[in-house]
Chains A and B, each alone.
Chain A
């Protein structure tokens, strides 16, 4: 299983490197929204601070967010729906390993290509914009599981949504809705603590914050004690739910699936 997984990943990675510029441009597009808010908030903070955050802290928050957003961004959410709609899922189903491995392989292969683009740019921006961060080893250690769980949550949640293509050809609309909610509630438009009360409550309850903002808040030290544990608990619960949703939708959906001409 592991070997075939690696083979898939290697194959995809090599084929993707041929289209480097295409993927670099995708990565550039995903970086723009956080960048806009980085500039807007750091200009707004100026020489003083907003809700306790200084200009440099906004810069640090958003630079970390750019990386986290890229690491957790599940592009397979979009492609899996197309596979089902166009009937190309047939080929994937014929392989001797479950199709989710195909998605996982392109996830990992993709991350490498995107990060090759992102990391140097973020490093350059850090040199120009001078971020300020109270770096602590504890936060860095907590960041690793938070990031891994965020990735898994966003992946399985998105994969489950994409599987709705088994039932409706228009399931993509839900993914657009999800992207908007992530923009608003997952710390992109502003750090969750700065949102108005209603939105903040929604952000803490719904799964979206735990897909992007939570690891960023952990690393930049915005969370302490109980908030941290509560966050991990919420993140874990949503991950379990997303995984169950994926299993259920996959099993029932596959039974409905008949490819064009099949």
Chain B
């Protein structure tokens, strides 16, 4: 249970750090609300003109937006800030402060992935879950146990894929110092706001197999809507397992290359 104790300690420390900047809360709230408003209005405008696009109705697309917002919020809650502290601009690898992280008697990948928590992201998480609830109400269906289970399972797989991609990008810093991979990914990740089906075929392939943004958001939304195919379920779980393993291996190889300025 030591890892859980550690995570609790990291959470506490991050909370104390953030509560020093209380005014940031309101700016954060404004940004979150604007993000929600633009997302929802985008969908409302689209479905004000047309009933259904490629089988997706307003409620279904809203459910997808809920997944997108939830996944982004979870990323902002700990994966993003933790990896940012490692590999971002002025991160530990640049400054050499990573020496002290490596010295600690815990698994370095664990430490690098869970140590910084950005509590303001809880607002985004609540808004994302709120959109999901509204979407389910609008759908006017009662969810079966399988729908809920498969939704949680594919959401977890989606989060793992996102984590693996970000970890791999962080690991690439060991070879070439530049934060740009994550920036490009952030742009492409935006495409997860809309269902894969709304993109042309060639882009759909890219968003499934090259940058699996579609797997992260569209598949959990399908699970919630009850239109998940066994193939998609297996794709999501398989991809998550493969990518997390590959990213962890990459991180370990990168770690061995790490040498700080003084060594």
Contact = CB atoms under 8 A, between A and B. Distances in A.
Contact of B53 (A29, A44, A180, A190): A44
B193 A176 contact: no
Given A29-B187, A32-B190, A180-B37, A40 B44 contact: no
B50 A44 contact: yes
Interface string A1-45: 000000000000000000001100100110111001101110110
Interface size grouping (class) on chain A: 20 to 34
Contacts of B200: 39, 43, 129
A36 B187 contact: no
Contacts of B45: 189-190, 194-196, 199
Contact of A51 (B23, B44, B49, B198): B49
A180 B34 contact: yes
B41 to A, nearest CB: 6
Given A28-B187, A40-B194, A21 B180 contact: yes
Contacts of A194: 45, 48-49
A153 interface: no
Contacts of A190: 45-46, 49
A8 to B, nearest CB: 26
A190 B54 CA distance: 18
Contacts of B194: 36, 39-40
Interface of B is mostly: helix
Interface residues of B, number: 33
A184 interface: yes
A172 B27 CA distance: 9
B28 to A, nearest CB: 10
A196 B48 contact: yes
Contacts of B198: 39-40, 43-44
Interface in A184-229: 184, 189-190, 194-196, 199
Contacts of A170: 23, 27
A254 interface: no
B30 interface: yes
Interface of B: 23, 27, 30-31, 34, 37-38, 41-42, 44-46, 48-50, 53-54, 178, 180, 183-184, 186-188, 190-191, 193-194, 197-200, 203
Given A32-B191, A173-B27, 10 more contacts: A21-B178, A33-B190, A36-B190, A36-B191, A36-B193, A172-B27, A184-B37, A189-B42, A194-B49, A199-B45
Interface of A: 21-22, 25, 28-29, 31-33, 36-37, 39-41, 43-44, 50-51, 129, 170, 172-173, 176-177, 180, 183-184, 189-190, 194-196, 199
